[in-house]
Amino acid sequence: MSQTDLTAADAGEGPAFDLRDALAALFRHIRPALLILVAAIVGAGIYLLLTPAEYTADAKLIIRLGREKAGAPLQGGANQNYMFSERAQNVNNEIEILRDPSIVRDEFAALKQMTPTGDPGPPPADWIDWFIYQGRQVLRSAKAVKTWIVETVRVPFEAVGLLRHLTPDEKLYEAYLASFKVAFVKETDVIVTGFTWTDPHFAAQALNRLLDAYKRRHVEVYADETPASFYQSKLERARADLAAIDAQLATYLKGNNTASFEIEQQNDLGTLADLAKQKSAAQIEREVVETRLKRTREAGPDRWQPTPPDADPTVTAFDQRWADLKTKRAELAVRFRPTAPEYVSLDRDLAALARQKYQSLLAADTAKLAVLAEKIQSITAIEQTRRKAAIGQSDAALAYGRLTQQKGLLTDEITETQKRIDALKTGTGLDAQAVTSSALVARAVPPRLPSGPNRPLILGLAAGLGLLAALAYVALAEILAQTYRSASEVARSLRVPVLAAVPLQTGTAG
């Protein structure tokens, strides 16, 4: 061993597991590995021998415009979308009718009579056919054993209630249900139906019989007369409710003495706005008069007060007399001294006139304040009255609006109900001719090739799983083995270098 190998071993690194070791391990356990692989393939083969070939007969249905809309005129525009949505709804309706178990249940007795018994008959005389016949008999016996095992295994589960016990007829009915398939082809109006059985002729016959039953069921579903009477009574109730609402609307209009609540509401709002403006103007004017009256009192009676613009003639007359006295005083001032009796008398007259004007201004503004207060109070009373009337009109308008909305809903309901009744009448005529909205493209024919089981896939999966199981067995056997078969295994397991190896002695020395 070289110095490099010793250094690597001292560092604790063992030699890696290589392909040669893997192949050696595989060949050491080649027999059990092959047995596992062969067992998996043989088991899959036995399963395929015991599983009969299945044949699927299919037929296609195309869904046309719904029969309940056949009497309605087709229009363009937005109604096209409505028509397409009705198509999707009709396809879903037909699928649900096809999937209804009652179709298979109603045809169970007929299908049971048609189901082949599988009796091969007497053995043939030719020896080759005889061997084939005997092989089929063995398969039948093996399938019977398989069925017995399955039934025996089910017994404890049925006893504890995990599985339900089925009679032979119930098992056959469940088999019919599982065999009948319904699928919808996307972005088309086509429904694909199929029936899978071990006999291709029975598969085609059973599918055709179920599709005939579906046709009859379709007519029975849409031919029911009960909805027509129901919608007729509903229409009469809606019309009676509509007449009652019309009477209530007329009563509301008459009781409120109006032809339109909207016009009355607009008038009330306009009146309230005018009253608010008048009240605001009166309040502003009152504030102005109060301020002026305060200034007058603060100035006092001994001072000549200015005349307000809105003063009455009795107050403005003081200004003329004041002007005359002031002119006369000016003339006397030229001829007499201030202490002269004439001059003093004139000053007394001016002071008396100022006091008279002061009293007149106080009286006028006080009277105006009283008038403005009365005006504001009157406007407030009128405003309250009009507001109460407006609230009453608003409540009446809301009630009127609710009744109008109910009237619209009832009108729409009457229209839709009438359409439904007309469609039912059209459907009655179509029922008489057994017209449906689905058409069978072609009746089912016996399939030539089996649809299952997929033998290549099953055999391939069995071979793959068998190979994985064989490799897993080899790996497990090597892991559990307690024997070192090479120097590399010793170094890898013990993590120490191999310094020397003693060769095997194949014989004794001479």
pLDDT at 68 over 60: no
Q: Which amino acid is at 506?
A: T
pLDDT of residue 270: 81
Q: How far apart are CA 418 and CA 426, in angstroms?
A: 12
C-alpha torsion angle, residues 201, 206, 207, 211 (rounded to 10): 140
- Could you tell me the two tokens for 86? 């009705």
pLDDT at 226 over 60: no
Predicted structure pTM score: 0.47
Instruction: State the DSSP code for 2.
Output: -
Provide the 3-class DSSP secondary structure of residue 180.
strand
Q: Percent of the chain, pLDDT > 70? A: 76
- Could you tell me the two tokens for 455? 């033998």
| Nearest in space to 373 (alpha carbons), one of 307, 305, 286, 445 | 286
pLDDT at 465 over 90: yes
Provide the 3-class DSSP secondary structure of residue 10.
helix
pLDDT of residue 129: 67
pLDDT band at 79 (very low <50, low <70, confident <90, very high): very low
pLDDT at 482 over 70: no
Q: How far apart are CA 241 and CA 500, in angstroms?
A: 111
Q: Report pLDDT digits (tens) over 306-316.
A: 888 777 777 78
Q: How many other CB atoms sit within 10 Å of the CB of residue 179?
A: 22
Q: Which residue has the higher pLDDT, 397 or 334?
A: 334
Minimum mean pLDDT among 54-58, 137-141, 472-476: which range? 137-141
pLDDT at 207 over 60: yes
Provide the 3-class DSSP secondary structure of residue 58.
strand
Minimum mean pLDDT among 264-273, 420-429, 447-456: which range? 420-429
- Domain extents for the chain? 1-51+475-500, 245-432
- Could you tell me the two tokens for 11? 């560092």
Which span out of 6-10, 80-84, 331-335, 454-458 was modeled with the highest average pLDDT?
454-458
Phi/psi at 464 (5° precision): -65, -45
67 contacts 221 by C-beta, under 8 angstroms: no
Minimum mean pLDDT among 37-41, 49-53, 66-70: which range? 66-70
- CA dihedral sign of residues 165, 170, 172, 173: negative
Q: Which amino acid is at 60?
A: K
* DSSP-derived secondary structure for 227-291: HHHHHHHHHHHHHHHHHHHHHHHHHHHHHTT-S-HHHHHHHHHHHHHHHHHHHHHHHHHHHHHHH
Q: Report pLDDT digits (tens) over 340-372.
A: 787 778 778 888 888 887 888 888 888 888 888
Minimum mean pLDDT among 31-45, 48-62, 474-488: which range? 474-488
* DSSP-derived secondary structure for 353-365: HHHHHHHHHHHHH
pLDDT band at 204 (very low <50, low <70, confident <90, very high): very high
pLDDT at 257 over 70: no
pLDDT of residue 16: 52
Q: Report pLDDT digits (tens) over 164-175.
A: 777 888 888 898
pLDDT at 228 over 80: no
Instruction: Tell the residue number behind the tokens 């009108």, with chain if given.
Output: 411
pLDDT of residue 45: 83
Minimum mean pLDDT among 256-270, 280-294, 360-374, 434-448: which range? 256-270
* DSSP-derived secondary structure for 125-172: SSHHHHHHHHHHHHHHHHHHHHHHHHHHHHHHHHHTTSS----HHHHH
Angle, helices 341-432 vs 200-222, to 10°: value is 130
386 contacts 268 by C-beta, under 8 angstroms: yes
Q: Which residue has the higher pLDDT, 218 or 173?
A: 173
139 contacts 50 by C-beta, under 8 angstroms: yes
pLDDT of residue 84: 44
Q: Which CATH number fits domain 245-432: 1.10.287, 1.10.10, 1.10.3470, 3.10.590?
A: 1.10.287
Stretch 128-144: mean pLDDT:
70
